[in-house]
Structure 1
C-alpha cells in the first residue's frame, strides 16, 4: 500500500482530525463570547449535547431486543417510540441552538459577528459529535460482521 493511502485509512488520524475541528468550533464559540456576552457559550453547550438524545434512544431501543421475550415484532412499539422521542428531542435542541443566536441578534443582545461565529462554531461542534458517534457505530458494525466468517 501507498504511504498516503495508509495515512488516510488510519482511524487515529480521523479521530485527531475530528478533535481539531471540534476545538476550532469551541474556539469560535468562545470568541463569540468575547463580544461582551456569555450567551454564545451556552448555545455552544446546547450544540454539543444536541445529539445525545439520539445516542440514548438508540441504546434503549437496541437494549429492548436483548431482554424482550416477545417474538411478535408487530406488537411491541416501544423501541420505535424511544427512537422517535430521541429524534424529536435532538431536532428540538438543534433547531433551538440554531435559532437562538438569530433571536438574540434581533433583540440586539448579540452583535452580527457574535451571531455568525456562534452559528458556525456550533455547526462545527454538532457535526463533529455526529461524526464521532457515526464513526464508532460503523466500527462496531464492521467488527460484528467479521465474526465467524470463513472459519472452517
Structure 2
C-alpha cells in the first residue's frame, strides 16, 4: 500500500474533507446573501436540516436484533413513518433548490445570488447526507474482529 492509498483510506481525512466542503457551501450561501439579501441564509438552513427527518424516522423505526415483534401492524406503521420522513426530506430538498429560483423570478435575488445559493445548498445537503451515511454503516474490519 502506498502513501496515497493510506491517505485516502484514513477516516479522519474523509471527515476533514467533508468539513471543508461543508464550509465552502456555507461560504457560498453567505456570499449569495451579500449579493442579494438575507433570504439565501434561509435556504442554507433548509438544506442543512433537509436530511434530519430521514435520520429521525430511521432511528425511530430501526429494529435491533432483539426485537421479536412479528405483528404486521407495527411493521406497517414503521414503514409509514420511514416513508413520511423521506417525503418531508424530499420536500425540503426540492424547496431548497426551487426557492432561489422563485426568489430570482420575483426579482428579489440576482442571478448570481441564485446560482450561489443553489450550489451552496447542494454542497451543504450533499455533505450532511454523506456524513450521515458514513456514520451509519458499520465498518467491515470491526465485523471481522467481533467474529474471531
Distance change in 2, residues 1:143/1:49 (3 Å)? farther
User: Can you list the C-alpha shifts for 1:19-52, whole angstroms capped at 9, x where unaligned?
Assistant: 0000000000000000241000010000000000
| Corresponding residue for residue 146 of structure 2 | 148
Secondary structure of the corresponding residue to residue 146 of structure 2? coil
1:27-106 → structure 2 map (5 Å cutoff):
27-63=27-63, 65=64, 69-72=68-71, 74-76=72-74, 77-106=76-105
Report how far residue 69 of structure 1 moved: 4.8
Name stretches of at least 5 consecutive residues in structure 1 with no aligned partner. Answer: none
Report how far residue 79 of structure 1 moved: 1.3
Once superposed, what is the RMSD of the aligned Cα atoms?
Answer: 1.8
TM-score w.r.t. structure 2 length? 0.91
Distance change in 2, residues 1:143/1:82 (3 Å)? farther
C-alpha distance in structure 2 between counterparts of 1:43 and 1:20, whole Å: 19
| Corresponding residue for residue 137 of structure 1 | 136
Report how far residue 68 of structure 1 moved: 5.5
C-alpha distance in structure 1 between counterparts of 2:58 and 2:116, whole Å: 31
Distance change in 2, residues 1:87/1:144 (3 Å)? farther
Q: Is the 8 A contact 2:36 2:113 kept in 1?
A: no
TM-score w.r.t. structure 1 length? 0.89
C-alpha distance in structure 1 between counterparts of 2:144 and 2:73, whole Å: 32
Q: Is the 8 A contact 2:36 2:110 kept in 1?
A: no
